[in-house]
């Protein structure tokens, strides 16, 4: 008997048909069951994934809404504005002596555009004291009356060492008690408005035209970020 014949005989004699048939059928059934379970798991996982995706979107939207609620001035991208500041030294500033009369506690025209949503301007929280002024000059040197309006002033302070003074006039530049050269000054543009911004010590100065008025704004102990936020908020 050849090796091939012996192998064939051993396979035939040792092969238990009922037993191996049961094993094969059990294996087929197990594989079929596993496929069904995998399909079931797949269809269960799909809605779970959808739920997770939808939940993630809702959470992101809620987070965004909460962020917007906390940030009152949502229309402004203050962090994207970079000020081009012209630094001054003592020799750049010259004092001016002008003959004026300042009247406080009066009604003055409001120079800024008011948003329909009632959004306020971004002012440091400690600046709670606001006063309005009208600056008058004489028509001529010989006149005894101060009957010409030179400009208006809004003075916003903390009652101590921090503040923002907004001077504005319609047909002329506001009067200031100092002078510095503006030639070759760097320009900052905010919402299509060109400004010249200067810094001396702890003060910022800016000059620009907006909404039909000429502005001259000066600060005291206000940070650059606070000044940027304020400028962006008023230049709608």
With respect to residue 174, please indicate whether it lies within any of the assigned structural domains: yes
Which tokens hold the place of 215? 């502005």
Q: What angle do CA 227, 228, 230 make, to 5 degrees?
A: 65
* pLDDT tens digits for range 61-82: 443 333 323 333 333 444 578 8
Q: Do 64 and 110 belong together in one domain? A: no
User: What are the pLDDT digits (tens) for 6-56?
Assistant: 444 544 444 444 555 455 455 545 555 555 455 544 444 444 444 444 444
Q: What is the pLDDT of residue 147?
A: 86
157 shares its domain with 226: yes
Regarding whether 175 and 94 lie in a shared domain, the answer is: yes
DSSP state of 92: G
Report pLDDT for 66: 34
Q: Which of 201, 9, 232 lies closest to 121 in space, CA to CA?
A: 232
Taking all residues of the chain, what is their mean pLDDT, rounded to a whole number? 75
User: How far, in Å, CA of 112 to CA of 194, rounded?
Assistant: 16
The percentage of the chain sitting over the pLDDT mark of 90, rounded to a whole number, equals 45
Total domains in the chain come to 2
Are 207 and 110 in a shared domain?
Answer: yes
Say whether 196 sits in a helix, a strand or coil: strand
Structural domain contains residue 118:
yes
| 94 and 115 in a common domain | yes
Q: Residue 180 pLDDT > 90, yes or no?
A: no
Regarding whether 188 and 132 lie in a shared domain, the answer is: yes
How far is it between the farthest Cα atoms of the chain?
Answer: 146
Tell me whether residue 77 is in a domain.
no
Question: Residue 75 domain-assigned?
Answer: no
**Containing domain of residue 91, as a range?**
82-234
- DSSP single-letter state for residue 114: P
Instruction: Compute how many other C-beta atoms are within 10 angstroms of the C-beta atom of residue 213.
Output: 19
Question: 199 pairs with which residues across the strands?
Answer: 87, 204
Residue 185: count other Cβ atoms within 10 Å of its Cβ.
16
Q: Measure the CA–CA gap between 206 and 164, rounded to whole angstroms.
A: 11
Residues 125 and 207 in one domain: yes
Nearest to residue 131, comparing CAs of 88, 100, 163? 163
- At 177, is the pLDDT very low, low, confident or very high (cuts 50, 70, 90)? confident
Residue 76, domain member (yes or no): no
| Per-residue pLDDT at 38 | 52
Q: Provide, rounded to the nearest whole percent, the portion of the chain with pLDDT above 70.
A: 62
pLDDT in tens, 80-112: 788 999 998 876 777 766 788 999 988 999 999
Q: Residues 59, 104: one domain?
A: no
Q: Are 158 and 194 in the same domain?
A: yes
- Domain finish residue from 13, 38, 70: 70
Q: Are 125 and 47 members of one domain?
A: no
């Amino acid at each position: 008997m050849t090796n091939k014949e012996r192998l064939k005989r051993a396979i035939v004699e040792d092969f238990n048909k009922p037993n191996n048939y049961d094993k094969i059928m059990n294996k087929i059934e197990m594989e079929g069951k596993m496929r069904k379970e995998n399909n079931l798991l797949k269809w269960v996982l799909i809605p779970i994934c959808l739920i997770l995706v939808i939940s993630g979107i809702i959470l992101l939207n809620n987070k965004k809404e909460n962020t917007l609620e906390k940030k009152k001035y949502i229309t402004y991208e203050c962090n994207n504005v970079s000020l081009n500041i012209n630094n001054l030294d003592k020799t750049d500033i010259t004092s001016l002596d002008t003959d004026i009369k300042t009247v406080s506690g009066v009604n003055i025209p409001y120079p800024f555009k008011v948003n329909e949503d009632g959004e306020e301007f971004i002012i440091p929280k400690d600046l709670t004291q606001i006063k309005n002024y009208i600056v008058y000059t004489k028509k001529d040197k010989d006149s005894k009356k101060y009957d010409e309006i030179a400009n208006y002033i809004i003075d916003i302070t903390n009652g101590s060492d921090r503040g923002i003074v907004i001077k504005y006039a319609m047909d002329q530049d506001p009067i200031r008690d100092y002078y510095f050269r503006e030639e070759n000054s760097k320009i900052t543009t905010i919402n299509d408005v060109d400004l010249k911004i200067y810094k001396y010590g702890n003060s910022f100065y800016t000059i620009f035209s907006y909404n039909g008025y000429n502005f001259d704004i000066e600060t005291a102990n206000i940070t650059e970020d606070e000044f940027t936020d304020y400028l962006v908020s008023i230049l709608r």
